Structure 1
């Protein structure tokens, strides 16, 4: 089967060997990320996803701040591998910080109280779709990326450093840059353990 969407999804892979040379200008990469988030679906079209897009020294600062917080909780004799990870992320050209606007979530909870308990989950779904959209759009342009979750470890430090509104909740971090290495073969679990198809 030939399907453009599936072809694009198959290009989306985790890249940990990042460099600073992008095939696009910073302005073009920024526009790409914004449009990918903009086109991502959200519950009741709440458009709750937010992003902080950082390049160069500002991107490196993300990983310096996260590393500083990790040093407080990771034993010193086991920190070498963590430090190496932070350096690999900082080696990229940029980082996207994915947030969800909690005010948008509260507004929906007030408008639709019957589903109030469900809206935080719906917000997480929106963020996941925005993350996939950005990652796939970057991959299509030959830009490597990975998805990281260092929240809530450095949430306060990142919010202060980058002027993030108080109502935004950090969900994930995506370092991106040039692909400085190939990708390992991706493996899949057996379809019988993953899918149920009926009625065809």
Structure 2
């Protein structure tokens, strides 16, 4: 059996060592990101996923906000230095995609389909997860390294104010990306027998 999709999934890895040495332009990468999100499934075709794409100085500004906010939580100087270095490693990339879910869309669905009301927030999380995977995999196919981060909700207020984000958009994740400066570490897998059950 020949499957052309699985190699793309296998190529999608968490890349922490990223840089600014990409051949693609922001315009080219934006098209890839937008199309990946556009083609991602959502419950009732709600299309609730939203994204803010930050490049270059705007991307660095975001990680500066995160670094400043996390300083408030540092327990000692060593922790502050370690956190600062980690944020700098993210800022070393080219861009960051802020993934949101539009709560107005979810609320409307809850009102329209009351029988499933409690499920729509759950299905919204499914939608954003699929959009994140789609974008991450599409970027990997372009030989762009990325890692998925979650610094929400500590920077939510700053993000909404700085980039004039609608209040109904709820931040769910951040995908930071750039050139691959070092490969991902070896990945291990648990045994299939403990993960899958197949009945024929």
More displaced stretch, 51-60 vs 2-11:
2-11
Cα offset, 1:23, TM superposition:
2.6
Alignment check: 8 A CA contact 2:145 2:178 kept? yes
Write out aligned runs for 1:174-193 (5 A): 174-193=175-194
Q: Which runs of 4+ in 1 moved over 2 A?
A: none
Secondary structure at the counterpart of residue 153 of structure 2: coil
TM-score by length of 1: 0.97
> What is residue 80 of structure 2 aligned with on the other side?
79
CA–CA distance in 2 between the matches of 1:23 and 1:13? 20
CA–CA distance in 2 between the matches of 1:137 and 1:21? 18
Aligned residues: 199
Alignment check: 8 A CA contact 1:22 1:178 kept? yes
TM-score by length of 2: 0.97
> What is residue 3 of structure 1 aligned with on the other side?
3
Alignment check: 8 A CA contact 1:23 1:141 kept? no
CA–CA distance in 2 between the matches of 1:158 and 1:21? 26
Structure 2: gaps (5+ residues): none
Do residues 12 (structure 1) and 12 (structure 2) align? yes
Cα offset, 1:2, TM superposition:
3.0
CA–CA distance in 2 between the matches of 1:4 and 1:70? 42
Structure 1: gaps (5+ residues): none
Alignment check: 8 A CA contact 2:16 2:184 kept? no
More displaced stretch, 66-75 vs 48-57:
66-75
Cα offset, 1:41, TM superposition:
0.2
Alignment check: 8 A CA contact 2:12 2:140 kept? yes
Write out aligned runs for 1:140-179 (5 A): 140-179=141-180
Cα offset, 1:30, TM superposition:
0.5
CA RMSD of aligned residues (A): 0.9
